[in-house]
Amino acid sequence: MKRTTVLLTAALVLALLFSRGVVASAAAPTYDINTLAGKVASLHGTAGLQIRFSAFLEEEAEESEDEDSGEPEPEFPITPTFVLSSPLDGTSVAGPAVIVNQDIAAAPQNETAIAVDPNNPNRVVAGANDYVTRTWACDVNGTPCSALGDAYSGTYFSNDGGATWCCTSSDPNNLGTLIPGVTHLTGGQYDAGGDPALAFDSQGNVYYAGLGFNRTSPPNTVAVNKGTFDGSGALSWGPPTFINQTTAPSTLNDKEWIAADWHIASPFQDRVYVSWTRFLFSPQTGAYVQSPIFFVYSTDGGATFSKPQNVSGSAHYSQGSRVVVGYDGTVYVFWEGSTRLASFNSTYVVKSTDGGVTFSKPVAVAQLADILPLRDTAFRVNSFPAAAAGPDGALYAAWTSEVRNSSSTYSADPVCAYWISGTASVRNNCHSSVVYSKSTDGGATWSTPVPIFAALDASFRTADGYPAPDGLAAPAARRVESIWPGVAVSPNGVVYMSAYVGDIVSPWQTCAAGPPPPEGRINCEALGPYIHNTRLNYYVTNVDSGNVQAASTHPINTRNGFGGGFFGDYTDLAVGSDDVFHAFWTDSNNQQNVVWFYGFEFVPTPINQEDVVTASGTIP
């Protein structure tokens, strides 16, 4: 949706309206917030607002509209006229990178979370949005499972340090390690689930936090499942505990995160902590009101949770929280947000020294300029933070910001703010960069933000595959952009950070005509012209040494899957007691045959789909 460039932030607009006693007029827009799509429209319709829902929820809202398009489903297997692809795409993920999801029918997976058992560095659990039910070949009372499925919460585990992974699923009676009890085909009450987050406690239990929601009706929730391993090393998940369940159209839970206190020296050992965003809308008009960060804790292994409390203070317009637990048991919650009169969003942090019972006032780590989609891509983006705590008490926070090409500083700049200077100014003068800041005094003060990958940040994209068959020439040199950082610190104090880096640009042929999604995600009926397309690689760095390693093994094409519009919301990084990092990202270089897809049957058709991929190692 095109947004009007304004000089006032949404927070300032709201403050002026309230201070002058302005009320909604008959001409003011109203929104049907009974549906997910209506809530998305309300948020997009708030002038100057920099935050958005998670890309996951926005994609789900878009899919609900696509599926209600009224297009009849063919009664025979579809033979695509064309399938969009590129000779530069891979056909498999090359080692040492490893595909984590184990399905074989071209189901998409994206948006990654990963955790390592603090007592066993070979035991790793990963999570992702998993659309495997959309490719199941089963049926329920004559209706294809793939028409009944949706985005679900997928998990996978490894007992050999990430070299091999388990498991897959095939039907409602064989769920593998899909999270049970939240979504319909897994025995739950909600249409869809996802937004994965994972944490281990000191006893080797693992916790999964995710969302459950309906796309065309109000019910939604945050859910936590507890996982245990048996003597053979197999993982099983217990039933969900629901947090802040609601059927009110005026409330939507989004972007949760989870942490567990596994630290031996902590007085709150094995407490489980969850934070999330509570989006609030006017019950009368459906207009967006605010989105504070809420928090709960559990003292009984996730069976019950405390009463939710708002920890975001006066930063009413917030999103994208992360919970971090220090070695002394201090709890930190990081997020992106703004106060009522702020011109820029900031990365914020609050802390609790009493096990999550009370919190400090928010401290701004640094201001940021929310990013535009990476140049020559189409997928949704955000500037949400990642964070971690070290054994020495140091804290690390990382996020993505638009920064000026000609500047040596990485703080917020009006020239790089699209809501102040306009999109053209940002495109001409700025680029997206992952940056980080460090605190050595418990989060009271923070260092000036610096780029995670300084050399890559200063470099330019490499053109590959030009000229295109229709004559499209390579574009002018443009700065490399980066996005979606991961942060992890080992018990020995080794600090790793990671992110996608858009360092390749190549031609991509578009589709000029075809059926609407979901069939149109695969079947193109007429090819269009070529455009420029930024490809990503995934990098990891040892922050202290500055050494950098490419974790991905082939440039990643984000145009594959979901029409190029959705590639997840974040990546993740974990590290074990052996100082081995586990980088985890969404990749699109694996090719498989699709037959069932969102209720449509195809002749077996090879496609590049989104998989979740990991690489492990050490960097001196």
Q: How far apart are CA 406 and CA 403, in angstroms?
A: 9
Average pLDDT of span 564-570: 96
What was the pLDDT predicted at 341? Answer: 85
pLDDT at 24 over 90: no
Q: Which residues pair with 500 in a beta bridge?
A: 483, 538
Average pLDDT of span 149-164: 97
List all residues 6 or more positions away from 537 whose beta carbon is below 8 Å from its beta carbon.
Answer: 500, 501, 503, 504, 550, 552, 555, 556
Token couple for 262: 């596994």
Average pLDDT of span 152-171: 97
What was the pLDDT predicted at 23? Answer: 36
Average pLDDT of span 401-418: 93
Tokens 């802390």 sit on residue:
351
Average pLDDT of span 379-399: 98
What was the pLDDT predicted at 409? Answer: 85
Contact between 596 and 105 (Cβ < 8 Å): yes
Higher pLDDT, 48 or 72: 48
Q: How far apart are CA 491 and CA 580, in angstroms?
A: 11
Among residues of the chain, what percentage have pLDDT more than 70? 94
What was the pLDDT predicted at 312? Answer: 97
Q: How confident is the model at residue 17 (pLDDT cuts 50, 70, 90)?
A: very low
Higher pLDDT, 484 or 50: 484
Q: Share the mean pLDDT of the chain.
A: 93
What was the pLDDT predicted at 125? Answer: 98
Token couple for 564: 């190029």
- Domain residue spans of the chain: 73-102+369-620
| Segment (H or E) for 561 | none
pLDDT at 6 over 50: no
pLDDT tens, residue by residue, 122-147: 999 999 999 999 999 999 999 999 99
List all residues 6 or more positions away from 262 whose beta carbon is below 8 Å from its beta carbon.
Answer: 118, 200, 201, 202, 269, 270, 325
pLDDT tens, residue by residue, 204-258: 999 999 999 999 999 999 999 999 999 999 999 999 999 999 999 999 999 999 9
Nearest to 278 by CA among 305, 312, 302: 312
pLDDT tens, residue by residue, 263-303: 999 999 999 999 999 999 999 999 999 999 999 999 999 99
Nearest to 87 by CA among 482, 605, 530: 530
Q: Which residues of 27-53 are buried (b: 16+ CB within 10 A; e: fewer)?
A: eeeebebebbbbbbbbbbbbebbbbbb
What was the pLDDT predicted at 27? Answer: 65
Token couple for 341: 């009169």
Q: How far apart are CA 366 and CA 398, in angstroms?
A: 10
Token couple for 619: 């960097």
Q: How far apart are CA 472 and CA 460, in angstroms?
A: 19
> CA 492, 495, 500 angle in degrees (round to 5)?
145
Average pLDDT of span 101-125: 97
Nearest to 543 by CA among 386, 309, 417: 386
Q: How far apart are CA 112 and CA 106, in angstroms?
A: 18
Tokens 């910001």 sit on residue:
401
Question: What 3-state class would DSSP assign to 456?
Answer: helix
Token couple for 348: 């914020």
Question: What 3-state class would DSSP assign to 482?
Answer: strand
pLDDT at 71 over 90: no
What was the pLDDT predicted at 70? Answer: 52
What was the pLDDT predicted at 7? Answer: 29
Contact between 294 and 306 (Cβ < 8 Å): no
Q: 537 to each of 392, 468, 498, 534, how far by Cα in Å?
A: 32, 22, 11, 10
Positive/negative CA dihedral, 52, 215, 199, 380 = negative
Positive/negative CA dihedral, 259, 264, 267, 271 = positive
Higher pLDDT, 497 or 69: 497
pLDDT tens, residue by residue, 311-333: 999 999 999 999 999 999 999 99
pLDDT at 11 over 50: no
What was the pLDDT predicted at 47? Answer: 84
Specify burial of residue 163 (Cβ count, 10 A radius: 0-12, 13-18, 19+).
middle
Q: Which residues of 547-562 are buried (b: 16+ CB within 10 A; e: fewer)?
A: ebbebbbbbbbbbbbb
Alpha carbon of residue 47 to chain centroid: 24
pLDDT at 486 over 50: yes
pLDDT tens, residue by residue, 504-560: 999 999 999 999 999 999 999 999 999 999 999 999 999 999 999 999 999 999 999
pLDDT at 20 over 80: no
> Letter for the amino acid at 532?
H
